[in-house]
C-alpha cells in the first residue's frame, strides 16, 4: 500500500495534488510520502514484536536526511555502507549506538570516524578488514563491537547483480570457515564479538531462501556458543522485495517474514536486527516527469520525457520495470495504445519501457513512475550535464523541497581549470 492515489481526477500524494507540486518545483522530481514511510517501517517493527530487536533502515535505498530523520524519530536504526552515509546518519540526528556499519571495503578513515563518533557494531566481511579494525581500535584506545558476516551459499532467486549470499559473491566469509575466523577475531585486541551477520540479496520475492539461510545461522550460533563465543545478536540483513508491477503477485509481507524469523531463530534468545531498505522506501516514492514530445516512428510511437536514465537508472541498469501512470486520471474505458517511453539522454539505453500500454498522451502531460523511492535519487547522476532533480517530501496537506535542483552555474563552478590553460 502507498499514499499516491487519484482524488477528483488528479494523482495526489497524501492530500496534495501532484500537479500543484510540479507547477511550483518543475519537472522532473522525486516525491516521497511520509505516511507511506511511516507505515512500512512500523510493519517491520511490529512484525518482530515479542523479540528483542532493532529495525535498521538500509539507507543506501534513499538517504536524504529528511527521510532519515522521519524514520529515526520512529525509533529506526541505520545500516550504513560508507563514511558518507555514516556522516549523513549522524547529521540527521541518529545516535551512534543505533548505526550499523556494513560493506566489504571499509577504510581506515571510515573506521576511525565511526569509532570516534559512536557505532553499534561493524559487520566485518573479511580477515584483512578484521585485522585493520583491530589495529585502528587499538591505536585509538577503543573496543570495536563486531559481528562477522557469513556467506551461507544460498540462492536468493533474485537478479544476479543484487544477489549477495552465493559462494561466488564478494560478500562475507564462507560459512564453512566461520569457526576459524571467529577464533581469529577472539584473539585480536580491540575487538569484541557480539554476534553473526548474514545478508543474501535484494528484491527477494519468496521466503524459502531466508529459511535456508537462517537455519544455517541457527546451527552456527549453537556451534560458536559451544566454542565459547558470546553470540547474543543476529543481524539478518534485509532484501525483502516489493511489487514493481501492480498486476503481479505481491512478495511476502513483513508479518510473514517476521513469523519466519521467530520460527527459525526465536529460540536462541538473541537480539534480532534487520535491515530493510527497498520495502520501506520503494513504494513511498514516485518520480514525476513531463512529456516533451510524442514522436511517431517507423513502427512505434515514442513518449519522450524530460526525465532520463541519469535521473532513474534502474531500467537501464537492471532492465527494471516501473509502473508508469498519468498524473491526470484517464477517463474510464479510454482506449490505450503502446508507446516506447524514453528520455532525452543521447543513449539508446535511455529507455524506460517498450510497447507500454498507456492512454493517449500529449506534450506537457505529466506522468509518474511508481515504486521509485528506493535506488532512484541515490543512484542518479549529472550525465549530459543534467542537474540532479529535486526531492520533495509530503506530510498530509503540506510539502517541502528536501533537495533543491542545482543551477547550471552551480554545476559548472565546481570545475577548476588548471593555471596552464
What residues are annotated to the active site? Answer: 346
Q: What is the dihedral of CA 178, 182, 185, 191, to 10 degrees?
A: 110
Asked if 63 contacts 403 with a C-beta cutoff of 8 angstroms, the reply is: no
What gap in Å lies between CA 3 and CA 243, rounded to an integer? 15
Asked if 308 contacts 344 with a C-beta cutoff of 8 angstroms, the reply is: yes
End-to-end CA distance of the chain: 56
Task: Report CA 360 to chain centroid distance, whole Å.
Answer: 33
Q: Which residues contact 154 (CB under 8 A, 6 or more apart)?
A: 165, 166, 200, 209, 212, 213, 216
- Eight-class DSSP state of 86: H
The pairing of beta strand 366-369 with beta strand 391-395 = unpaired
The pairing of beta strand 324-326 with beta strand 351-358 = unpaired
Count Cβ atoms below 10 Å from residue 358 Cβ, excluding itself.
18
Three-state DSSP class for residue 311: coil
What gap in Å lies between CA 127 and CA 110, rounded to an integer? 17
Asked if 130 contacts 184 with a C-beta cutoff of 8 angstroms, the reply is: yes
Count Cβ atoms below 10 Å from residue 367 Cβ, excluding itself.
25
Asked if 252 contacts 240 with a C-beta cutoff of 8 angstroms, the reply is: yes
The helix or strand, by DSSP H or E, that contains position 194, with its residue range, turns out to be: strand 191-197
Amino acid at each position: 500500500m502507498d499514499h499516491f492515489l487519484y482524488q477528483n481526477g488528479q494523482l495526489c500524494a497524501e492530500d496534495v495534488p501532484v500537479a500543484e507540486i510540479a507547477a511550483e518545483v518543475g519537472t522532473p522530481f522525486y516525491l516521497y510520502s511520509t505516511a507511506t514511510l511511516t507505515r512500512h517501517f512500523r510493519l517491520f517493527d511490529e512484525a518482530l514484536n515479542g523479540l528483542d530487536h532493532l529495525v535498521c533502515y538500509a539507507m543506501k535505498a534513499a538517504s536524504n536526511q529528511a527521510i532519515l530523520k522521519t524514520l529515526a524519530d520512529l525509533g529506526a536504526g541505520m545500516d550504513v555502507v560508507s563514511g558518507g552515509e555514516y556522516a549523513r546518519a549522524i547529521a540527521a540526528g541518529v545516535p551512534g549506538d543505533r548505526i550499523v556499519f556494513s560493506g566489504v571495503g571499509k577504510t581506515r578513515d571510515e573506521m576511525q570516524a565511526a569509532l570516534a563518533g559512536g557505532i553499534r557494531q561493524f559487520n566485518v566481511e573479511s580477515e584483512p578488514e578484521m585485522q585493520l579494525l583491530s589495529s585502528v581500535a587499538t591505536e585509538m584506545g577503543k573496543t570495536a563491537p563486531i559481528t562477522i558476516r557469513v556467506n551461507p551459499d544460498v540462492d536468493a532467486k533474485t537478479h544476479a547483480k543484487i544477489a549477495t549470499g552465493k559462494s561466488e559473491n564478494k560478500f562475507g566469509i564462507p560459512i564453512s570457515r566461520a569457526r576459524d575466523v571467529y577464533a581469529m577475531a577472539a584473539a585480536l585486541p580491540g575487538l569484541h564479538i557480539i554476534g553473526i551477520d548474514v545478508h543474501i540479496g535484494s528484491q527477494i520475492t519468496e521466503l524459502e531462501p531466508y529459511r535456508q539461510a537462517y537455519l544455517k545461522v541457527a546451527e552456527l550460533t549453537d556451534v560458536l556458543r559451544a566454542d565459547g563465543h558470546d553470540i547474543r545478536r543476529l543481524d539478518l540483513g534485509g532484501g525483502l522485495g516489493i511489487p514493481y508491477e501492480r498486476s503481479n503477485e505481491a512478495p511476502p509481507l513483513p508479518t510473514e517474514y517476521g513469523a519466519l524469523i521467530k520460527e527459525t531463530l526465536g529460540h536462541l534468545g538473541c537480539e534480532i536486527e534487520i535491515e530493510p531498505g527497498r520495502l520501506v522506501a520503494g513504494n513511498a516514492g514516485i518520480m514525476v516527469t513531463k512529456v516533451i514530445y510524442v514522436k511517431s516512428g517507423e513502427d512505434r510511437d515514442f513518449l519522450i520525457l524530460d526525465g532520463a536514465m541519469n535521473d532513474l537508472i534502474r531500467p537501464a541498469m537492471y532492465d527494471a520495470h516501473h509502473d508508469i501512470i498519468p498524473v491526470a486520471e484517464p477517463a474510464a474505458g479510454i482506449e490505450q495504445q503502446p508507446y516506447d517511453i524514453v528520455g532525452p539522454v543521447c543513449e539508446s539505453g535511455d529507455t524506460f519501457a517498450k510497447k507500454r500500454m498507456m492512454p493517449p498522451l500529449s506534450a506537457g502531460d505529466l506522468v509518474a513512475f511508481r515504486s521509485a523511492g528506493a535506488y532512484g535519487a541515490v543512484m542518479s547522476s549529472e550525465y549530459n550535464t543534467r542537474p540532479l532533480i529535486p526531492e520533495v517530501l509530503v506530510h498530509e496537506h503540506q510539502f517541502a523541497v528536501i533537495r533543491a535542483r542545482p543551477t547550471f552555474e552551480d554545476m559548472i563552478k565546481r570545475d577548476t581549470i588548471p593555471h596552464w590553460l
